Structures are given as C-alpha cells and as structure tokens.
Structure 1
Amino acid sequence: MKNGSETMETEEDLLTLLHIKLYHPQQSCKGLYSLLPLGTRSRHSADDPLRLGRDAQACTYCLADPRVSRKQLALSAYRTPQSPEILFSVQNLSQRGRLSVNGSSLGHLEKMDLPDKALIRFGEYEVLIVREPGEAKASFEVDLEVLPVSPSRETCTSEPGRAPVMDTAWLGKKGPQETDETLICYS
C-alpha cells in the first residue's frame, strides 16, 4: 500500500501549461475580458473540462459579451497510451455558432484534438492556444492574456475568405514599390 505522499503530485512536477491568448477587433472599447483572470496562472484538474462562454455558473472562464453563447466551447485534457503528456481536445458547445480550429469547422458538440499550437475562431473572436508540455498528470496550468493584434496576422493561419495580408517591401531589383501591392500568406 502506498502512502499519500507517494501518490500525490509534488510541487516539483512540471505542469503542462496552456497559454490562451484572446483577440477581438473591438476589445479596446468594450470590457469583454473584465471577468477573466488575465496575467495570472491558474491550476486546473485534468479531470474537469475548461468551459468558455458567457454563463458564469456553467463556465470556467467568462466573456462579458452577449453575442457569445452561454457555453461556447470546452477544452478537455486527455492522455494516450503512446504518450505520457497531457493533450487537449476542443468541443463546440454552441448550438447557433460555428467554431473553427486552424480553418477546420466544428458543428454543435463536434470535437477535435488540438495540436500544440491552434487558432480557434468563433464570432469575431480569435483564440490562440499554445501548449507547453509538462510531466504532471493530474493537473495543468492556464495563463490567459489579451493580444493587441489578431493572431491570424502573426501566424499566417487562414481560412477561405479571411486570408491575412502582409506587405511586400522588396519586389525584385527595382527596390521598394510605391503602390500598396500585397502578398497573401497561406499556411
């Protein structure tokens, strides 16, 4: 029989960290993120899914936006026999709104495994999730922050009709162009 100290996670265990970075085009003029614990890491049990939405009683993280579903999405931790790491999946909980992960659309209650870096879109929101692996198996940490610019512009992850554009400063031997020529970035 093991005693409690042998089975419990120690403080030395490195926790998996989910960086959740949010962006909305009108975030500067609205208090969309006023209910979120921005800039502080919080520890969560791997047994319980993280829910994001506007309902403070049903969701782990709440957005102060009436256009967001009561329960918008859930992030669930899991492990596979092939890997000791905590991995994550995302599920669309919204009956009305579509959710996309790196350009792939999810309907109501559809689920998808998340890669180590994923761009999730719903409504006008863009959520960049970056996973840093750890050793601990019973819990993980979440760090929430607001991005000043759209993550799709930074990562060049695009969906049809929403391709980010980057300026071309040097085109051939003629030097910089004076026109506003642009180059579409595809992933």
Structure 2
Amino acid sequence: MMNVSQTMETEEDLLTCLHIKLHHPQQSCKGLYGLLPLGTRSRHSADDPLRLGRDAQACTFALVDVRVSRKQLALHAYRTAQSPDMLFTIQNLSQRGRLSVNSSELGYLERTDLPDKALVRFGEYEMLIIRESGEAKGSFEVDFEVLAVPPSRETCTGEPSTIPVVETGSRVMNSFPGELRVGLLGPLESDETCYS
C-alpha cells in the first residue's frame, strides 16, 4: 500500500508546459496583454479547463480587447492509456467569432486535439502554442510570450522566412496591358503548411 507522500506530485516533478506566443497587428499601441502573466510561468490544475477571453471573471486569462469574445477558447488537459504524456484539446467558446487551428476552422463548442505545435487564429490574433512534455499528472504550466512578428510568417525551423518578392519588370509581363498584368500576379499568400 502506497502512502500519500508517494502519490503526490513533488516540486521536482517536471510539469508539462504550454508555451503560448501571441501576436496582434496593433499590440504595440494598445495594452491588449495587460492582464496576462507575461514572462512568468503559471501553474494550473489539469482537471480545470484553461479559458481565454475578454471576461477576467469567467476566464483564466483575459485579453483587454472589446473585439474578443467574453469566452473565446478553452484548453482541456487529458491523458490516454496509450501515452504517459498530458495532452490537450482546444474548444471554441465563441458563438460569433471564428477559431482556426492549423487552418481547420472550429464552430461554436467544437473541439479538436491540440498538436505539439499549433497555429491558432481568432479575430486578428495569432497564437503559436507549443507543448513541452512533462512527468507530472495533476498540473501543468502556461508561459505567455508576445511575438513581434506573426507566427504565420515563421518557417517550421522557427527562423523568419523570406518575404516573397514579385518581379514585375520582365519583358513578358510588360507586354501585357496593365489590367492583365495585375490579374496575372494574383494574390500573395503565405505558406502555412508547416503547422499542420
């Protein structure tokens, strides 16, 4: 029979950590992250969902932004018999806002498994969530960081990607009328396949 001290987590147990890296286009001129514990790891019980939204009373973490839903999203910890790791699902709690995880959209109350590295988008926010495995079973840590560049502009290696350059000075392009040249160039899109 095990005594209580053998089954309890100790300070030496390595906790699973969710590194949440945020970006918003207007973050430098607004205090959007004023209620987040930036630069400090915070510990959370694995049996309580971690909620993010505008309402500081209803959510674990709050963003100071009227365009964010009162409850935007929730992260739920879980375990399986096949794996010793603590895993997570992400759930969209917003009735009016869209939430995408690695380009897959979640409707209201829908949830999906969170991969080890995920690009989450809602409104104008981008969050890169990276799960670092640990041994502890009853709690995990969260570490918030603000990124200067949107995570969708980074490559899989974490290095900034090169900005695409459109060449418009070729003889072939200049031989078309101006209206056709614009149509031939088409929209520029970033490649997000490395987060899937």
TM-score (norm 1): 0.85
What is the CA distance between 1:183 and its match in structure 2?
8.6
Query: What is the aligned partner in structure 1 of residue 174 from structure 2?
Result: none
Give the aligned residue type for 2:163.
M
Q: Secondary structure at the match of 2:153?
A: helix
Structure 2 unaligned regions, length at least 5: 166-184
Pair 1:11-2:8 in alignment: no
Assess if the C-alpha contact under 8 Å between 2:24 and 2:150 holds in 1.
yes
Q: 1:10: how far off?
A: 1.2
Decide which structure has the larger Cα Rg and report it. Answer: 2
Find the counterpart in structure 1 of residue 142 from structure 2. Answer: 142
The 1:101–1:44 alpha-carbon spacing in structure 2 relative to 1, beyond 3 Å, is same
Decide which structure has greater helix share: 2
Q: Aligned equivalents of 2:85 and 2:149: distance in 1?
A: 31
SS at structure 2 position matched to 1:6: helix
Q: How is 1:1-187 mapped onto 2 (pairs within 5 angstroms)?
A: 1-155=1-155, 166-167=163-164, 185=191, 187=193
Instruction: Say if 1:144 and 1:7 are closer, same or farther in 2 by CA, change over 3 A.
Output: same
Secondary structure of the residue that 2:154 maps to in structure 1? helix
**Which structure shows the bigger proportion of residues in strand conformation?**
1
CA distance in 2, matches of 1:132, 1:6: 25
CA shift in 2, pair 1:167/1:143, >3 Å? same
* Residue 81 (structure 1) shift: 1.0
- Is the CA contact (8 Å cut-off) linking 1:166 and 1:184 kept in structure 2? no
* Cα shift at 1:44: 0.5
Structure 2 counterpart of 1:152, which letter? S
SS of the residue 1:166 aligns to: coil
Identity, in percent, stands at 76
Change (3 A) 1:23 1:13: same
Q: Which amino acid aligns with 1:3?
A: N
Given that residues 167 and 183 in structure 1 are in contact (C-alpha distance below 8 angstroms), is that contact kept between their aligned partners in structure 2? no
CA contact (8 A) 2:88 2:114 kept: yes
